[in-house]
Amino acid sequence: MKQPCVYIVASRRHGTLYTGVTSNLPKRAYEHREGLVKGFSAKYGCKVLVWYELHETMLEAITREKQIKAGSRAKKLALIEVLNPEWKDLYESLA
C-alpha cells in the first residue's frame, strides 16, 4: 500500500497522540511499533495505529496533516472515535 496518507498513532486508548504523514503506511506504522522512529512518538510510546486517512497526492496529505495538528485534542479524539471506537490497532488490517 504505497499511497499518501495521514495517520495517528497512540500510546494507549485516550493516551498520547502523534499525527504524521507518509507515503508508505505499513512501513511507517511498523517503525512506530518497533520504536524505530526517534523523537516524540518513541519518547511517549506512541505505537498503536488508531486512525488513518488516504489521499490522492502527498500535497493533500500534508495539508490535511497540518489541519489536524492545528486542531484541538478533542477533534483528534473525535476522528478516532468515529472510525475506530474500540481503539483497535489497525496495523494488522494494512496487509
Q: For 65-94, what is the mean pLDDT?
A: 96
Residue that has been written with the C-alpha cell 508508505 in this structure = 24
The model's pLDDT over 44-66, given as tens digits with 9 standing for 90+, comes to 999 999 999 999 999 999 999 99
Give me the pLDDT at residue 1, please: 56
CA distance 64 to 55: 9
Which residues lie across from 22 on neighbouring strands? 5
Residues 6+ apart with CB under 8 A from 5: 21, 22, 23, 25, 52, 53, 54, 55, 61
Q: For 39-46, what is the mean pLDDT?
A: 93
Give me the pLDDT at residue 2, please: 79
Which pTM was predicted?
0.95
Domains of the chain: 2-94 (3.40.1440.10)
Which residues lie across from 6 on neighbouring strands? 21, 53
pLDDT reading at 37 higher than 90:
no
pLDDT reading at 4 higher than 90:
yes
Residues 6+ apart with CB under 8 A from 75: 68
